[in-house]
């Protein structure tokens, strides 16, 4: 190499050094990093004096699943589908056995009007308007929010007022509450 070319290469490297060092110092965040949902869209994190004990246990169990990936047929924080989330959280929080099927869950409990929802109610949706049966379920957590396992987002908190959920609303069900214990399916009372 000729001395003049060597100087240009050396000068170019010296000029680029701060840029190279600056880029190397930047640590990009992982593409799918978990982040905490905004405060207005969270599940209660501590027991509330306003909620009955069973609802508090349910809310704490739902919180444990937030951020879990969607896995068809799954029922654990490692991977869960929408009906599997309902089965898992009601089972762990209340010892209740529920069917792992949206259509069967839709027949459990009593129908509830949208304006009368309470924490713990199951909310149902149709992704296809022509469908008679709902194909998605979540758990209402108050303030117009519900927790569900979304195929694209995993377990997340969503607003009932969001257009897709408003348009696809199929109904809600409330599990009956035994005076001394957890909710029981209406037909089992």
Q: Indicate which residues carry an active-site annotation.
A: 82, 136, 148
Phi, psi of 172 (to 5 degrees): -140, 155
Q: Please state, in angstroms and rounded to a whole number, the distance separating the CA atoms of residues 16 and 24.
A: 12
Q: Please state, in angstroms and rounded to a whole number, the distance separating the CA atoms of residues 130 and 110.
A: 24
DSSP, residue by residue, 146-169: EEEEETTTEEEEEETTSHHHHHTE
Q: Please state, in angstroms and rounded to a whole number, the distance separating the CA atoms of residues 126 and 134.
A: 4
Q: Which two tokens stand for residue 82?
A: 């929408």
Q: Please state, in angstroms and rounded to a whole number, the distance separating the CA atoms of residues 83 and 151.
A: 12
Q: Please state, in angstroms and rounded to a whole number, the distance separating the CA atoms of residues 147 and 110.
A: 20
């Amino acid at each position: 190499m000729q001395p003049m070319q060597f100087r240009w290469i050396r000068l170019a490297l010296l000029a680029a050094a701060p840029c190279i060092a600056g880029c190397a110092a930047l640590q990009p965040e992982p593409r799918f990093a978990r982040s905490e949902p905004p405060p207005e869209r969270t599940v209660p994190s501590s027991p509330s004096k306003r909620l009955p004990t069973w609802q508090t246990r349910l809310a704490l169990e739902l919180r444990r699943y937030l951020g879990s990936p969607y896995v068809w047929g799954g029922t654990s924080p490692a991977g869960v589908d929408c009906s599997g989330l309902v089965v898992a959280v009601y089972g762990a929080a209340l010892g209740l056995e529920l069917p792992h099927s949206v259509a069967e869950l839709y027949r459990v409990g009593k129908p509830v009007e949208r304006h009368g929802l309470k924490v713990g109610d199951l909310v149902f949706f149709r992704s296809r308007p022509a469908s008679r049966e709902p194909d998605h379920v979540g758990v209402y957590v108050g303030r117009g929010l519900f927790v569900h396992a979304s195929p694209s987002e995993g377990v997340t908190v969503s607003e009932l007022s969001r257009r897709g959920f408003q348009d696809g609303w199929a109904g809600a069900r409330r599990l009956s509450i035994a005076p001394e214990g957890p909710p029981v399916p209406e037909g089992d009372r």
